[in-house]
Structure 1
Amino acid sequence: MAADSRPDRAAENHAFGQADDFGMDSITLAGPLEAKLAAMHEAGFRQVMLKASDIVGHPGGTDAAVRAVKASGLRVTGFQVLRDFEGLSGHLHDYKVDIAKAMLEMARAVGAPLLLLCSSTSTHASADPEVIARDLRKLAMLAVPLGLKVAYEGLSWGRTINEFTTAWEVVCRADAPNLGLGFDSFHAIATQTSLDALEQIDPDKIFLVQLADFMWQEIRSVEERISTARHFRVFPGEGVHSAQVADLVLRLAAMGYRGDYSFEVFNDDYQQLPLPLVAQRARRSALWLGEDVLRRSVPLPNRIRLKNTA
């Protein structure tokens, strides 16, 4: 992670190891934006990955949402998510460019450093890697005047780009300085993509890492993969892939990755629980990864220890 000059940063990392490199996605929590931000901050988090609906759905309007974010004490990790952008033509392409411009403006307004783009699932999109790269390059150029980056993530059910390896290939083909990779542990585990492929990736071009686990060893169909991703993710260490998540974080650290991690956990059960309870579950994961895993003392899977954050 880039150096942070805030005076509390060094003290926090001294007390909690690397736990403060981990944040939450607002998608995980139910309720109004202010309540989500407060629950995260009170649990000990110092960053948040925002979703567009939290901003545009605010009852006070987007300006009120932006003020709430800026008053929260949380740094914004990024802004999500632009979907089905690349590979289109004609009026579909023009439409998506307009959507992208609006999302980039919102990202800048909330202070996000990057916009997350997921690989297209559209049957109307071209599978030509050169066309995909061209559109990614165009989006990156639109982001330049706003001072933003674009992180491209390969959805495991993407039509053409569905692994982090192929997402990396098209990012390289696009060759834009503010275009990089968004890495999601769920998709890598779901597709059983070997983490050895990380050796091919420039760590400076990994712009964001999103982490989640899930509760079954094997995903047996694309339909089950989508359902699991959207409804049944759990925090790292709560599922059955703790060792793989730990391995991923250790590999990234060894590569020299110093960027942000965010817990992207879509879970219908968490949406029915009190916000502080869910945020504390997330904080346990951050402490496990930051204190135990990154300090090379990995506990047995599913044995997260709740530590005092006072």
Structure 2
Amino acid sequence: MRLSISANLFNGNLEHIFTLFTEYGITHVDLTHTDVKADARSLENLVDLSNRYNISFNSASGLREYGGNTNHIHEYDTEMARTYIRASKRLNCKTLVVTAPTIRSKDIDQKKIINDLRILANMALPYNINIALKVLPWSPYIGSYESAQDIIAAVNSPNFGLALDTFLFICDAENLDVLETLPVDKIFIVQCSDLAVTLIDSLEELIDADRSKRLLPGDGYFHDDIKHICNTLTSKGYHSPFSVYANGNSYHDMSHEALLQRICQISLA
């Protein structure tokens, strides 16, 4: 299994970081919204580093709370989408991750969201970029993989699919049985995170865990569950890198070398 690592784990001099990536055998990196939204000079610097160090950008996150809005917010969303798509193309990044609105509004409905996501997929199609819909359980519009499958079917575009997140399974926000119903050819990225909490009692705790308590696989209590998910998807034909994503505060206290050593020890098979 190939791994991709999230850029949010590393801060500092990019030249030094990419040098370390090469030394530790890292070949795929997932970008954050700040990377894709960067100014032209910073974007070209990433392109140069990618070429010189032979590092591929596996995915980019950034289109959050997207779809269903009206008037000036809709115009802003559309323009932001164009910016992210063009940046992804320049970075040779094949997958752009998008999340639906999480706050209920009388001005937003499912039909508007579907229409906006279809337009987004159509905008990305000429650039050969996939749009991966990420499920958030606290979204009143797309809060489960079942509802996401309905959205994907309604959008009906070859480049529109799913960002699967192991975090939702280990938090019991999703049942593992759903893996059998998901079409693997529509899974464009699999995000892998562990957790050191065994019980989440409320939606507020789930949101907090998602935003600040994600751990590297093996650093929490659910490594075996994560491996089971990855092996199931591999057996069904998933062949893209598995994205290692963490945001726990402890990782920012580690040296880049120590963090990369830890990442290289991760096994998902």
Aligned residue runs from structure 1 range 89-238, under 5 A:
89-124=70-105, 128-238=109-219
Give the deviation of 1:101 after TM superposition. 0.5
Shift of 1:57: 5.0
SS at match of 1:48: strand
Q: CA deviation at 1:124?
A: 3.6
Distance 2:253 2:194 in 1: 19
Q: Please report how far the alpha carbon of residue 30 of structure 1 lies from its aligned counterpart in structure 2 after TM superposition.
A: 2.4
Q: Is the 8 A contact 1:152 1:181 kept in 2?
A: yes
Comparing 210-219 with 30-39, which one deviates more in the overlay? 30-39
The residue identity in structure 2 corresponding to 1:35 is H
* Residue 126 of structure 1, CA deviation: 5.7
Q: TM-score, normalised by structure 1?
A: 0.81
**Total equivalences in the alignment:** 269
Q: Residue 125 and residue 186 in structure 1: after superposition, are their counterparts in 2 closer, same or farther (change >3 A)?
A: farther
Q: Give 2:22's match in structure 1, choosing from 34, 41, 64.
A: 41
**Whole-Å separation in 1 of the counterparts to 2:136 and 2:16:** 30
The residue type paired with residue 136 of structure 2 is L
* Identity over aligned pairs, percent: 25
On the 8 A contact 1:84/1:120 being kept in 2, the answer is: yes
Q: Which runs of 5+ in 2 are unaligned?
A: none
Q: Secondary structure at the match of 1:69?
A: helix
Q: Which amino acid aligns with 1:277?
A: A
Q: 1:56 to 1:192 in 2, by over 3 A?
A: closer
Contact 1:130 1:173 survives alignment (8 Å): no
Q: Deviations over 1:72-115 (max 9, x none)?
A: 22111111121011111222111100011101111111110111
- Deviation at residue 59 of structure 1 after TM alignment: 10
Q: 1:106-148: CA deviations, max 9, x gaps?
A: 1111110111112221334766333222111110001012121
Instruction: Describe the shift of the 1:228–1:37 C-alpha distance in structure 2 as closer, same or farther (beyond 3 A).
Output: farther
Normalised TM-score (structure 2): 0.92
Cα RMSD, aligned residues only: 2.0
Q: Please give the alpha-carbon distance, in whole angstroms, between the structure 1 residues aligned to 2:47 and 2:36.
A: 7
Q: Which moved more, 1:188-197 or 1:268-277?
A: 188-197
CA distance in 2, matches of 1:143, 1:59: 20
CA distance in 2, matches of 1:125, 1:41: 50
Mean Cα displacement is larger for which, 30-39 or 108-117?
30-39
Deviation digits for residues 216-237 of structure 1 (CA, Å, limit 9, x no counterpart): 1112222222222222211112
